[in-house]
Amino acid sequence: MKIVAFERAKQGTGASRRLRITGRTPAIVYGGTGEPQLIELDHNALWHALKKEAFHSTILDMELNGNDSKVLLRNVQMHPFKQLVLHIDFQRVEANTKLHMKVPLHYSGDENSPAVKVEGCIADHVVTELEVKCLPADLPEFIKVDLSGLKKGSPLHLADVVLPSGVTVVTRGNKNPVLVAVMMIAGAEETAEKTSAPAPDATAGATGAAATAATPAPAKAAGKAAPAAAKAPAAKAPAAKAPGAKK
């Protein structure tokens, strides 16, 4: 990308405020063999350029006083609530000096992976950019990452990514961090368990029903005889005759 800058003669809070009123943004260029230089840019063009990913991650061609130079965007200071760029910093780039730069990751193919398409999972992009170290000529605009091989229970690590030639990743602490995690969708695991549960044995149920039907019912006559016997009065014994009674 190419940007046009102009020299800035005055500096300070008051001068910067007056500059912003005229539709310009104060900026500075530093680094390399030259001295830091005060510059200004058209705010409208700068505002639209900041919306592009390449403006943040690639080497820019800056035209200043008819001369072109290579620079990198290093810092942007925004107004707390207005759509206004307060200040911006650029760093000069030297061809033989390695750069430390954050490069975005472009993921693709996760919708065609076995984890998402078959196993009911989702791909969680844990890391969206990597800090890389390389020469200016090797600096990529972005790094492509293919997720079509994702499987359930197998997250994607840094070691699984093929980096562009001449580019190395700057890691801090963990040398092989997780870039993409594979997560099960809520409710999908319970559905899978219900689907895989064994069906009830129909043969066992039929055998139980047949055994119940084959059990003989108690005879009604026997049930009624017992109460009848209980209700029958007991036989009276003959009364004894008093002594001296006539026969």
Q: Is 5 exposed, middle or buried (0-12, 13-18, 19+ CB in 10 A)?
A: buried
**How many angstroms separate the CA atoms of 92 and 78, rounded?**
22
Per-residue pLDDT, averaged over 183-210, amounts to: 55
Share above pLDDT 90 across residues of the chain, in percent, rounded to a whole number:
59
**How many angstroms separate the CA atoms of 104 and 172, rounded?**
17
Q: Which residue has the higher pLDDT, 159 or 219?
A: 159
Residue-wise pLDDT for 20-69, tens only, equals 999 999 999 998 877 899 999 999 999 999 999 999 989 999 998 888 89
**How many angstroms separate the CA atoms of 119 and 192, rounded?**
9
Residue-wise pLDDT for 95-147, tens only, equals 898 999 999 999 999 999 999 999 889 999 999 999 999 999 999 999 999 99
Is the pLDDT at 192 greater than 80? The verdict is no
Residues 7/38, Cβ–Cβ less than 8 Å:
yes
- SS3 annotation, the chain: CEEEEEECCCCCHHHHHHHHHCCEEEEEEECCCCCCEEEEEEHHHHHHHCCCHHHHHCCEEEEECCEEEEEEEEEEEECCCCCCEEEEEEEECCCCCCEEEEEEEEEECHHHCHHHHCCCEEEEECCCEEEEEECHHHCCCCEEEECCCCECCECEEHHHCCCCCCCEECCCCCCCCEEEEEEECCCHHHHHHHHHCCCCCHHHHHHHHHHHHHCCCCCHHHHHHHHHHHHCCCCCCCCCCCCCCCC
